[in-house]
Amino acid sequence: MAKQAYVYSGTEWVPLASEVTNLSAYQTKALNQFPNRNLIINGAMQVAQRNTSVASITSSGYRTVDRFGHNVTTLGTWTMSQENDAPTGSGFRKSTKVLCTTADASPAAGDYSSIYQILEGQNLQAIKKGTAAAEQLTISFWVKSNVTGTYIVAIYDNDNTRSVSKSYTVNASGTWEYKTITFPADTTGAFDNDNGASLILEFVMGSGTDRTSGTLQTTWGSYTAANYATGQTNLASATNNYWQVTGVQLEVGDTATPFEFLPAQQELAQCQRYYHRYTADEAYAQFANGMTWSTTSSRFAIQMPTTMRTVPTIGSSNLGTKSSNGSIQAVTSFALESACSSKHAIGTIATVAAGLTANYPAVLQANNNTSAYLEVIAEL
């Protein structure tokens, strides 16, 4: 029998109803005394620093909404987007959508697609995984798809190569549905207490027989590929099939509590631990000040908006630099200076073909292009 859950109201402990629809105003207020319940970052899909829509996706990576990656292994072609669409009256305004643009109705054995988020081990210690006191986990979310049927949501323990999977049903086409799923506790294999990838949460979109030929593993155990996504509907079966999600919350315990809405600036800061993009609002927007080193290079120190998970890598597009006595020059190479970079600030070298004057103040800026950007990446 499940244990009765309680929350502290500020003056006393009160019972927590077993269903979110049964929460009284008093209990809901009590829940607000316990922030940071949600282990998922950006579950309301509000932050999308990279793009709001990316088409022609045939490989895995981060594309649009922060912290949610798209895993594609030769299973169709996709568009991933942040949508201004969410269940009415839920408090959500955004969602993440994947749309099939090239179908794969007969997946090969290794074909696979999912939406995932990877979590740091040091943020998971309250689960007490690998101990006799291990806790259950409950996920709640809103989902909409034009393809009804059985879908799989799975948790993979990257530290101990263990997994557990559960199914849910999309009952009505094109309709937002609220789902809650509880995963059992796991007394085997503790999560590492570090900033590495410990837990992977996956919403499966489709799979070949490598991950569907067995029996769905609904209790924790050593990872067996054939048991990971058994019963999964193939969203790639036809073009224009889609799947949308918002309000993703993963929390300790056997009860789904009301979604924990965060202030926009707090949600953004959590995302910036893993990725931040400095974008050009103007054609000559400035990103950093520094110093010319030679006629072809400048150096810049750039402060991170928050402490990043690890020393980041960098990327850029359409940058320019100039010395204080000269004109802007197109940056042909933009590199990290590893020896003077940290999780808090990075050193960079901008290389140009010619045109700088050594030992002058310099500026790093957009090269007459509003699509210019500088990105720092510390994703799991």
Confidence band, pLDDT 50/70/90 cuts, at residue 2: very low
- Class for domain 37-272, per CATH? mainly beta
Of 202, 205, 203, 201, the closest CA to residue 112 belongs to 205
| pLDDT computed for residue 358 by the predictor | 96
Which amino acid makes up residue 157? Answer: D
26: pLDDT strictly greater than 50 = no
* Residue pLDDT, tens place only, 202-246: 999 999 999 999 999 999 999 999 999 999 999 999 999 999 999
CA proximity to 47, closest of 280, 263, 363: 263
Report pLDDT for 96: 98
Global pTM?
A: 0.91
Across the range 183-195, mean pLDDT stands at 98
Looking at residue 67, its pLDDT comes to 98
The DSSP result for 150-201, as a single string, is EEEEEEEETTTTEEEEEEEEE-STT--EEEEEEEPP--S-PPPSSSSEEEEE
What is the per-residue pLDDT across 140-181, written as a single tens digit (0 to 9) for each?
A: 999 999 999 999 999 999 999 999 999 999 999 999 999 999
Residue 374: strand, helix, or coil: strand
Residue ranges of the domains in the chain? 1-34, 37-272, 275-377
